[in-house]
Amino acid sequence: MSKPLSGKIAVVTGGSRGIGRGIAEKLAADGALVAVHYGKGKASADEVVAKIKSNGGDAFAVGADLAKKGAAQALFAGVDQELKQRTGDTKFDILVNNAGIAPFVGFDETTEDVLDEIFSVNVKSLFLITQEGSKRLKNGGRIVSTSSLASRLPLGAVAAYSMLKAPLDNLAKTLAVHLGPREITVNVVAPGVIETDMAAEFVNNAEGRAFAESKQALKRVGQPSDVADVVAFLAGPESRWVTGQVIEVAGGTGLTFA
Ligand SMILES: NC(=O)c1ccc[n+]([C@@H]2O[C@H](COP(=O)([O-])OP(=O)(O)OC[C@H]3O[C@@H](n4cnc5c(N)ncnc54)[C@H](OP(=O)(O)O)[C@@H]3O)[C@@H](O)[C@H]2O)c1
């Protein structure tokens, strides 16, 4: 039976761990060839690729440090080379901007270096990767970025991170209009607390989990697959009329005042 993403090619940044790993595995299970991007975690990315292949899918790993200048060129040098070998072309269908960092520092403790690093990885590289990626995306393609619920409901413990997720929501709107004539959709998912290394402060202790659950309509901690399933919808054919949107994937966090 044909799968929803059969014949499609996806690039997933931060596919080596956490939510990105879940997204890479889901898109591959839905039939896409997936470029699994990593920063420091080559071994983890190789493991994701091996798992996808053992489940009958196809993927390859590509490294690029998004904190460094020239990250977008470095990423696409690797992607282009592999795709040229496999397809004779550098075109692909789905870009998932997922990589990110969230140093646990409040407003008073945020240094210039920390601010620069969050900006470089979470905003600047995402912008430039999207710019490079959009040149290679086929008409009818998809861009999905991982923002955060913290954009709407900022957390004081990660004040700079919260502030620097809002640009993703904003960029999706101008890009949706810019790329609409090519039938490329641009959307954002905004997860709440999801059980990954990034959310260790919340999910690795009973008090943190209880706090997260107390804010949600649905009373459990979110999993990478909860986000990946929504990304797969936004990356697939059935979301064709959805663009420029921020979709919260947060179990209904902060829906009411009290
Ligand atoms: N977990 C949550 O509760 C939550 C909630 C809302 C939004 N989000 C967002 O979801 C996305 C994924 O988060 P996660 O929870 O899955 O985090 P994670 O488990 O910490 O994974 C982060 C991913 O980003 C990559 N990455 C980090 N710094 C990088 C760099 N300098 N260069 C290249 N790659 C880099 C990592 O690659 P390497 O390990 O290979 O370096 C890894 O694949 C992020 O954008 C995050 O802001 C997460």
48 lines ligand 1 (CB under 6 A): no
Phi-psi region of 188 (alpha: psi -120 to 50; beta: other; left: phi over 0): beta
Please name the residue that has the structure tokens 């804010």: 215
Ranking 115-119, 130-134, 199-203, 215-219 by mean pLDDT, the lowest is: 199-203
Q: Which atom of ligand 1 is nearest to the CA of 44?
A: 40
Q: How confident is the model at residue 100 (pLDDT cuts 50, 70, 90)?
A: very high
pLDDT in tens, 192-246: 999 999 999 889 999 999 999 999 999 999 999 999 999 999 999 999 999 999 9
Whole-number average pLDDT of the chain: 97
Q: How confident is the model at residue 258 (pLDDT cuts 50, 70, 90)?
A: confident
pTM, two decimals, is 0.98
Tokens of 130: 């999207």
199 lines ligand 1 (CB under 6 A): yes
Helices and strands per DSSP (H, E), number in the chain: 10, 7
Catalytic-residue membership of 161: yes
Residue whose CB lies within 8 A of the most ligand 1 atoms, among 11, 97, 123, 146, for a mutation test: 146
Residue whose CB lies within 8 A of the most ligand 1 atoms, among 188, 198, 231, 247, for a mutation test: 198
What are the extents of the domains in the chain? 9-196+224-249
CB atoms near residue 33 (< 10 Å): 24
Mean pLDDT of 91-109: 98
pLDDT in tens, 167-197: 999 999 999 999 999 999 999 999 999 999 9
Collect all residues with Cβ–Cβ distance below 8 Å to 117 and sequence separation of at least 6. 67, 101, 103
**Spatial distance between the Cα atoms of 61 and 63, rounded to a whole number of angstroms:** 7
Q: Does domain 9-196+224-249 have CATH number 1.10.4080.10?
A: no
